[in-house]
Amino acid sequence: MQIIRELQGLKPAVAALRGAGDTLALVPTMGALHDGHLALVAEARKHAARVTATIFVNPLQFNDPGDLARYPRTEEADLARLEAAGCDLVWLPTPAQLYPDGFATSISVRGVSERWEGEHRPGHFDGVATVVAKLLLAVRPTHAIFGEKDWQQLAVIRRVEADLGMGVAILGQPTVREADGLAMSSRNALLSPEHRAEAVALPAALQAAGKEIAAGGAVGPALERAKATLRAEGFSDVDYVALVDADSLEPLESPREPMRLLAAASIGGVRLIDNIPVTSEQQVGW
């Protein structure tokens, strides 16, 4: 596996990898890799002859400086895991390479980015859209893979690609979960053992609300019950629990497919997000 740290090394390395027009998939990450990230690499390998990953903790998408400062960083272990997963090349840009002095461009996506994470993390999706466009334009992959755990992020990235036409197939990968149902996330490493045990209430509350709605229960009360359960189980701030149109991310007052239940809540000072699909003949699960 090639490790590229300098921008000028990237283009020749990618050109050599692609040889005579091979397909190339990009897996963008912020490091602190877990099995969810490795599932993205495995999926990438199914679609493309070559796989590149990036590790970059993007300062532009952090609205909270404390969140950026304590974001987990495990570079050595990350590189070993990417190599074992069959990644061909990893690029680790620095903020100065991606955002040199005078950098003044921001990609802002209307509509799909405005609610939920967009409302609770102002500027977050501008930072995501801008860095993803930069990574795609630098690597020029044929495919790029993102996790469904960040459902709204995936919708925002699909919009950017559709609007800017970068010629990249954007693929989504289902959420990989721990045995008890908690969605794998780099931020889980910041949870104390007690809060880690309590965090299972998040997927459990989504699952209970999904079952209720699928069985014909009223949406509003099901969402309120999920929020109350989260508070009772130790979550402090419950930013939202919402039933949304899976594509537009607009809230739904009554079920209409395709739909998704989204939630964001904090426990022990760690903010977690999760989401699940809801279908009418639901057996909600994973």
Ligand X SMILES: Nc1ncnc2c1ncn2[C@@H]1O[C@H](COP(=O)(O)OP(=O)(O)OP(=O)(O)O)[C@@H](O)[C@H]1O
Residue ranges binding ligand BAL (CB under 6 A): 61, 150, 153
In the list 10, 26, 128, 201, the residue contacting ligand PAF (rule: CB under 6 A) is: 128
The DSSP bridge partners found for residue 144 are 26, 170
Active site residue 37: yes
- Binding site annotation covers 147? yes
Which residue number, 52 or 153, has a Cβ lying nearer to ligand BAL? 153
CB of 153 to ligand PAF, least distance (A): 6
- Binding site annotation covers 113? no
CB of 242 to ligand BAL, least distance (A): 18
Residues 48-107 that bind ligand PAF (CB under 6 A): 58, 61
213 Cα distance to chain centroid? 25
- Binding site annotation covers 259? no
Q: Which residues bind ligand X (CB under 6 A)?
A: 29-30, 36-37, 39-40, 146-147, 149-150, 173, 175-176, 183-187
Query: Distance from first CA to last CA of the chain, Å, rounded?
Result: 33
Contact 202, 177 (CB under 8 A): no
Q: Out of ligand X, ligand PAF, ligand BAL, none, which partner does residue 173 contact, by CB within 5 to 8 A per kind?
A: ligand X
Find the part of the chain contacting ligand PAF (CB under 6 A) among 40-48, 91-99, 124-132, 197-205.
Answer: 124-132
Tell me the residue length of the chain: 286
Which residue number, 18 or 149, has a Cβ lying nearer to ligand BAL? 149
Active-site positions read 37
